[in-house]
Structure 1
Amino acid sequence: MDGSQTPTETPTQAEAQGRVRARAQARTRTYSWEDPRVSAAAVGEESGLEFLQRMVAGELPTPPIAATLQFTLESVEFGRAVFTLEPGEEHYNPIGSVHGGVYATLLDSAAGCAVQSVLPPATGYTSLDLNVKFLRPITVDTGKVRAVGTVLNHGRRTALAQAELVDSEGKLIAHAVSSCMIFPAAGRA
């Protein structure tokens, strides 16, 4: 070594890093969201289905995570919730496909909101677990994906739901099962 190189960086590594930086083009994304306390305060005032229908109708703000990941609650009915996402580079992991955490967030949202849709007024829920199986990669070329959550069983204290993530042709991309705890909504019991 001639003293200008550190022991951990050889000229080959430095050159490679320089080439990567030269090829990389910075991208930016700006987004906004509404105060999440508004919708949180409305939880339990009406049935879970009515609450989610108000969100779909734009009467209540969507949660900030929806703006962060750019997904949408497309539809909801008793025991079923559907979210959509148009995948973009901002969802990518280092190997050039959508990060598994994005899959999991969509599936958790779909399963959880399906459970919420069956809850009576003054009742809330939280996910206890989420078991995800990844079957296919998602890239920007995949096009819009849909996460469809359905309730399999619900009682007074727990609920079981599943969610399927499918592409525009209906091919299964991922599957999840979630159990949720049901409880009186804060300040509503």
Structure 2
Amino acid sequence: MGRTRTYEWEDPAVTAAAVGHDSGLDFLRAVQGGRLPSPPVSATLDFTLDEVAEGRAVFSLLPGEEHYNPIGSVHGGVYATLLDSAAGCAVQSTLPAGMGYTSLDLTVKFLRRITVDTGRVRAVGTVVNRGRQTALAEATLLDAKDRLLAH
């Protein structure tokens, strides 16, 4: 018998319309606090923004079978989504009101497989350097024992 998963999300236009009105940090705190809806991708993959501070963002996910690839472990795209979210939001947390950003590239190195037995994982993003036009951020994906899963 097949397995099912049902989830809901809110209108992404509400959150998108709020981008740039406040600082990036205030915007992310509004999402984290539920004053603005989380993006639909977080409902699709079931991950959350757990921490945000100037130059830092932390997301977490409890791996489930719905995240699996055909060989029985979490799909690399899930790793990449968590890492991209953490790194991107770390940069966003440093932006003043009226300024936006986009990712220029993403390189992921996979070090350990993730399964349902891994338990909750968290992606920790930090800004390494921020200039006037570009910023460099890095992110690490860790298990509950702080073992590095990917970066």
Is 2:7 aligned against 1:28?
Answer: no
Correspondence for 2:29:
53
Q: Distance in 2 between matches of 1:57 and 1:91?
A: 26
Task: Give a deviation string over 1:93-146, Cα, whole Å, max 9, x none.
Answer: 000000000000000000000000000000000001001000000000000000
Higher RCO by CA contacts (8 Å cutoff, separation 6 or greater): 2
Is 2:137 aligned against 1:161?
Answer: yes
Paired residue total: 151
Q: TM-score, normalised by structure 1?
A: 0.79
C-alpha displacement at 1:155, in angstroms? 1.2
Q: Distance in 2 between matches of 1:34 and 1:155?
A: 34
User: Secondary structure at 1:113's aligned position in 2?
Assistant: helix
Q: Distance in 1 between matches of 2:110 and 2:77?
A: 11
Give the number of the structure whose alpha-carbon radius of gyration is greater. Answer: 1
Correspondence for 1:104:
80
1:118 to 94, 97, 105: 94
Task: Give a deviation string over 1:141-183, Cα, whole Å, max 9, x none.
Answer: 00000000000001111000000000000000000xxxxxxxx
2:112 to 117, 122, 136: 136
Q: Distance in 1 between matches of 2:99 and 2:112?
A: 36
User: Secondary structure at 2:7's aligned position in 1?
Assistant: coil
Q: Distance in 2 between matches of 1:91 and 1:55?
A: 23
Correspondence for 2:41:
65
Q: Distance in 1 between matches of 2:9 and 2:75?
A: 22
Correspondence for 2:69:
93
Amino acid at match of 1:59: R
User: Secondary structure at 1:137's aligned position in 2?
Assistant: coil
C-alpha displacement at 1:42, in angstroms? 0.5
Query: Which stretches in structure 2 are left out of the alignment for 5+ residues?
Result: none
Task: Give a deviation string over 1:40-89, Cα, whole Å, max 9, x none.
Answer: 00000010000000111100000000000000000100000000000000
Is 2:147 aligned against 1:147?
Answer: no
User: Secondary structure at 2:126's aligned position in 1?
Assistant: strand
Q: Distance in 2 between matches of 1:70 and 1:144?
A: 12
Q: TM-score, normalised by structure 2?
A: 0.99
Q: Distance in 2 between matches of 1:27 and 1:49?
A: 38
Q: Distance in 1 between matches of 2:11 and 2:103?
A: 23
Q: Distance in 2 between matches of 1:145 and 1:66?
A: 14
Which structure carries more strand by proportion?
Answer: 1
